[in-house]
Amino acid sequence: MRQDPAYDILPQNRPCVVLFSSAGRRVELMNCFRADARGLGISIKVLATDLNPAYSPACQFADEAIPMPRCTDAEFIPRMLDVCVRKGASLIIPTIDTELPILAAHRSEFAHCGVRIAISSPSVVNLARDKRATAQFLQSHGLPVPRTGSIDDVIADAGSWSWPLILKPVDGSCSKGLHVISDVAALMALPVSRLNYVAQELWKGKEYTVNIFFDDTGRLRCAVPHWRYETRAGEVSKGITVREPTLMKLAERLGEKLEGARGAMCFQAIVRPDGAAAIFEINARFGGGYPLTHAAGARFSQWLLEESLGRPSTASNQWQENLKLLRYDAAVFVGKEREP
């Protein structure tokens, strides 16, 4: 194990091995990396880990699929390190929120083995995982956010809040566990843990995701808003890239304050009919709608590969506006002999 914490530069005579952790359904994301590797003229090998690779679509499209314990398991980090060393992985792409804190906390151990994790610092990851902390951070830096507080805060002064409110798990994702509450009586009757939920005023307007990319020095290099015209299970199913000036400025301001941000991130925002905008969530990973950003010309995956190769970064804020994403269902059929 190397003592120098600096990342090694990938030798040019062997393929770039990229590991997608908790790969799940992220087939489109894997294909973005494959396309960019071809564009860079390099060979790429895609590894995919999952709790049950036999039931992961992305694992069926990987060059090799490997079972992995849950990120809460004590064996998760040792197992990940072992796989990376044995398989020669040089880059890990995390895909789910729950694994981010533990990977961020152990990234120096992977770096000692020559493995780069495309992840922000533990402080940024932990901030993004806690919706209450996110709101407090935004407020403290003068960034607009819908009024946010605990359930007890709302009950104590219900008359000062603008109803309806939206209740979210403090560490939730993918729109799971959301409740829209119209009055304090409904709030008090809701069977949820008050400690595990955060209340937020429900803004009405156009909802956007802004995909943002930070280089390995922490500099914001690109911001691509897309209008979430239609969503399904918390993920955009129809979207359009829009160079919305208010959101571009918010991205710049957020980028200045997020010390320790690296690689791909995204934030969710609302723009009301009167033009006012607010950020209501930050995700410290590739967003589910990233393939739209990639198709528009903002190739975060290419820029991460360039960093791994030690090549000059081509990251820029040049991308195609008004590009539309229309998602549809697809299936992969796996016979017994093809199961990982």
Residue with tokens 């791994």: 308
Listing DSSP states for 306-328 in one string gives HHHHTPPP---S---TT-EEE--
CA dihedral of 163, 168, 170, 174, whole degrees rounded to 10:
-140
Q: How many residues does the chain have?
A: 340
What percentage of the chain has pLDDT greater than the value 90?
82
Single out the residue of 18, 223, 217 nearest to residue 116, CA to CA.
18
Would you state the structure tokens that stand for residue 124, as one six-digit string? 């940024």
Our measurement of the distance from residue 165's CA atom to the centroid of its chain's CA atoms, rounded to an integer in Å, reads 25
For residue 138, pLDDT beyond 80 = yes
Our measurement of the distance from residue 155's CA atom to the centroid of its chain's CA atoms, rounded to an integer in Å, reads 33
Our measurement of the distance from residue 281's CA atom to the centroid of its chain's CA atoms, rounded to an integer in Å, reads 11
Would you state the structure tokens that stand for residue 44, as one six-digit string? 């790429």
Contacts of 33 by beta carbon, 8 Å cutoff, 6+ apart: 18, 44, 46, 93, 301, 305
Q: What is the pLDDT at residue 1? A: 25
Q: What is the pLDDT at residue 13? A: 53
Between 324 and 4, the more confident residue is 324
Between 12 and 160, the more confident residue is 160
Residue with tokens 């890239």: 241
Q: What is the pLDDT at residue 2? A: 27
Q: Which helix (H) or strand (E) is 240 found in, with range?
A: strand 235-241
283 vs 154: CA distance, rounded Å: 26
Asked whether 325 and 293 are in contact (CB, 8 A), the reply is: no
DSSP 8-state symbol, 83: H
For residue 251, pLDDT beyond 50 = yes
The backbone torsions φ and ψ at residue 177, rounded to the nearest 5 degrees and listed phi first, read 75, 15
Our measurement of the distance from residue 252's CA atom to the centroid of its chain's CA atoms, rounded to an integer in Å, reads 18
- Give the CA distances from residue 265 to residues 62, 83, 258, 319, in Å, rounded to whole numbers and listed in that order: 23, 25, 11, 17
All domains of the chain, ordered by start, with CATH? 16-119 (3.40.50.20), 147-201 (3.30.1490.20), 204-326 (3.30.470.20)
Pairing of strands 44-50, 64-67: parallel
Mean local confidence (pLDDT), 97-122: 97
For residue 340, pLDDT beyond 70 = no
63 vs 19: CA distance, rounded Å: 10
Q: What is the pLDDT at residue 3? A: 27
311 vs 308: CA distance, rounded Å: 8
Neighbours of 172 (CB within 10 A): 19
pLDDT tens, position by position, 216-247? 999 999 999 999 999 988 889 999 999 999 99
Q: What is the pLDDT at residue 324? A: 98
For residue 6, pLDDT beyond 60 = no
For residue 171, which amino acid is it? Answer: D
Mean local confidence (pLDDT), 125-145: 96
Q: What is the pLDDT at residue 178? A: 83
Q: What is the pLDDT at residue 7? A: 36
Single out the residue of 59, 50, 49 nearest to residue 27, CA to CA.
59
334 vs 233: CA distance, rounded Å: 25
pTM of the model: 0.92
pLDDT tens, position by position, 285-339? 999 999 999 999 999 999 999 999 999 999 999 999 999 999 999 999 998 765 5
pLDDT tens, position by position, 184-195? 888 888 888 777
Q: What is the pLDDT at residue 175? A: 64
For residue 10, pLDDT beyond 80 = no
Would you state the structure tokens that stand for residue 52, as one six-digit string? 């049950």
Mean local confidence (pLDDT), 88-102: 97
Asked whether 337 and 240 are in contact (CB, 8 A), the reply is: no
